[in-house]
Amino acid sequence: MSEEKLTREELIKKAEKPGRDAMILHPYYRGKVQVTAKCVVRNMDDFAIWYTPGVAKPCLAIKEDPLAVFEHTNKGNFVAVVSDGTRVLGLGDIGPEAALPVMEGKALLFKYLGGVDAFPICVDTKDPDELIDFVLKLQPSFGGVNLEDISQPKCFYILDELRKRAHIPIWHDDQQGTAAVTVAGLINAVKLVNKKLSEIKIAMVGAGAANIRIAHQLFLAGVKPENIIMVDSKGTLHTEREDAEILATKYKEKWELAQITNPQKIRGGIPEAMKDADVLIALSKPGPGVIEPEWIKLMAKDPIVFTCANPVPEIYPWDAKAAGAKIVATGRSDFPNQVNNSLGFPGIFRGALDVRAKTITDEMCLAAAQELAKVAEDNGLREDYIIPTMEEWEVFPREAVAVALKAIEQGVARVKRTREELMKMAEDTIRNARETVQLLMREKLIPPAPKTE
């Protein structure tokens, strides 16, 4: 039965099914990732090569030339997924142990979509400086670090400090990943409604890590700061708010945006920000009911609605469409137009790792967004297809190449490779990761999943 023929109650039940299935399959597999070998073990004699005494030779080679670690080990494909569990999905501060299922899921996506060997690491500290010190100490073993589900405002400080001090890419997916994928979707959405990034007015609901970084990526993509109105839990953001002094001293990222957005100093809350807006970008708290259908009716002609709270969007897409939204996107894979980080970080890290990048710049993120948008455009844009899906595996090598070439252009790559070399590397690595999983499933080394409802 198509979604159009389902009742609202049936649609809600369908939307809740992944959570019910998760409670069956997570304990069945006791996790989602494991460590397995990538070298041959022909017989027990091979351990003399892979371990002692043979391993001493590559150890000494690395001592002489530290960069030789990329040749003799898997460092160049290792990524640490690090979280303190203080802002997990839409669940809040649930602690490091409770965050582990999310970090394992992230590691699985890294491997299957990007061929990246990622390790979930949940850290028992809420102190930002301790977390910074911990991540810096990981650098000898990892080619990059993905920060995940860390509360604001400390997440900004942690990312900024690590980007200054680390010599490997440090990435906060809730900021940079969300921004790259959102910009990709918006690039195509405005094309479908015959509008321009430089002219659209945007209401941004939520002033957390995601929307703050999205705003900066939008500026880089051509959106004018004065055309944005941002809303947090206390109302629209502007320089004359009663809590302006608190913003300026404790939430400097918000304060910076308050100074360059909403020049008319429009007061109020979400409906006031949405009035006459071309676009709504909401990353606030899980819905439904955070965004009311009546507020969408206040927007400009052919409104674009991105409601991307997890695990439930601020308004269900069918309610947004009924209220007049022309294009609707959410963060969920079971609805059309999934604007989700999983389309970004596997390919972005693949590209950064393949040139041994020292960092991931904002321009590398924009290059990823533009390539994502181009993949969807090449396949034919529609109102329910503004961004590729995870099933379109060519997305990830194409994205990787765009990121790698931008890294080379900006001088942050340790090695230079041609477009053709990069494409082959990315395709081979990602294909190997996928085929390995399929092989393990065929051989029942990964047991078949039990039936769910």
Give whole-number Cα distances, 370 to 106, 107, 137, 404, in Å: 23, 25, 34, 14
Give whole-number Cα distances, 5 to 2, 11, 12, 18, 429, in Å: 6, 10, 13, 21, 41
> Which pair of tokens denotes residue 42?
């022909």
Are the C-beta atoms of residues 304 and 279 closer than 8 Å to each other? yes
What's the rounded Cα separation, in Å, for the pair 317 and 313?
8
Backbone angles phi, psi at 336, to 5 degrees: -60, 160
Q: Decide if 28 is catalytic.
A: no
Backbone angles phi, psi at 58, to 5 degrees: -65, -30
What's the rounded Cα separation, in Å, for the pair 58 and 64?
10
What's the rounded Cα separation, in Å, for the pair 14 and 26?
19
Q: Indicate which residue of 13, 14, 38, 51 is catalytic.
A: 51
> Which pair of tokens denotes residue 77?
């494909």
Backbone angles phi, psi at 12, to 5 degrees: -65, -40
Q: Indicate which residue of 106, 154, 201, 406 is catalytic.
A: 106
> Which pair of tokens denotes residue 207?
């002033």
Taking Cα atoms as reference points, which of 439, 355, 436 lies closest to residue 401?
Answer: 355
Chain centroid to CA 11: 26
Contacts of 261 (CB under 8 A, 6+ apart): 215, 225, 226, 228, 229, 230, 237, 238
Contacts of 294 (CB under 8 A, 6+ apart): 271, 323
Q: Decide if 51 is catalytic.
A: yes
Residues labelled as active-site residues: 51, 106
